[in-house]
Amino acid sequence: MLLQLDSGIFYEFIPALEFYNESPTRISLKDVKIGVNYVIILNTTAGLWGYNIGDTVEFTNTKPYRIKVTGRIKHFISAFGEHVIGKEVEKALNDAIKETAINVSEFTVAPQVNATNGLPYHEWFIEFENEPENLEEFANKIDASMQEQNIYYFDLIKGKILRPLIIRSVKKGGFHEYMKSIGKFGGQNKIPQLSDNRKIADVLECLFN
């Protein structure tokens, strides 16, 4: 998408990795870099000031300024400082299913901080249309992509702070049942693909274990 620059809108950008810092960097268009995830902040001549629309964006071009939306800033995982965002989990899943017959209906990811055995980990709840023959191998492919994309996640795995992710296979129609259980079933409501808490994950465990 091209940014509209001649309509009384002043854009500011906060690097997504700094957004929850006490004093995050806040830059104007002239300082943005291609390939960095930013939280977009709007100021307008109509009186809007410092408004966070909630989207994260990435510049694909700066001549002219062209962006793509990469996710929502509230949808992230950083329970251990890993700063995982929606774009990364989507790519990791797509990398794993590439050139296979595997199809995924829905998924969501949450941190498992209080693991009963071993190190904590990221827990992926996936509803498959056709499940992989080897779920552990499939999980390893996703984890490898996550480590390649996210240096913080890589360091946590290599430093034995986290163990590789674990997949929980959700029965067919399971996510629809979940949405019905919270009164949000319908086309206008979508389950977040990742969250920094276990509000969704704990309900899924209760419904399907």
Q: What is the pLDDT of residues 155-209, one digit of tens each?
A: 999 999 999 999 999 988 889 888 888 887 766 667 888 888 898 898 888 766 5
Spatial CA neighbour of 107 closest among 169, 30, 32: 169
How would residue 100 be classed by pLDDT, with cut points 50, 70 and 90?
very high
For residue 112, the model assigns a pLDDT of 94
Round to whole Å and give the CA distance between 135 and 188.
31
For residues 106 and 18, which has the higher predicted lDDT (pLDDT)?
A: 106
Average pLDDT of the chain is 89
Round to whole Å and give the CA distance between 171 and 178.
11
Reply yes or no on whether the pLDDT at 153 is more than 80: yes
Q: Give the mean model confidence (pLDDT) for residues 62-83.
A: 86
Kindly report the pTM of this predicted structure. Answer: 0.76
For residue 188, the model assigns a pLDDT of 66
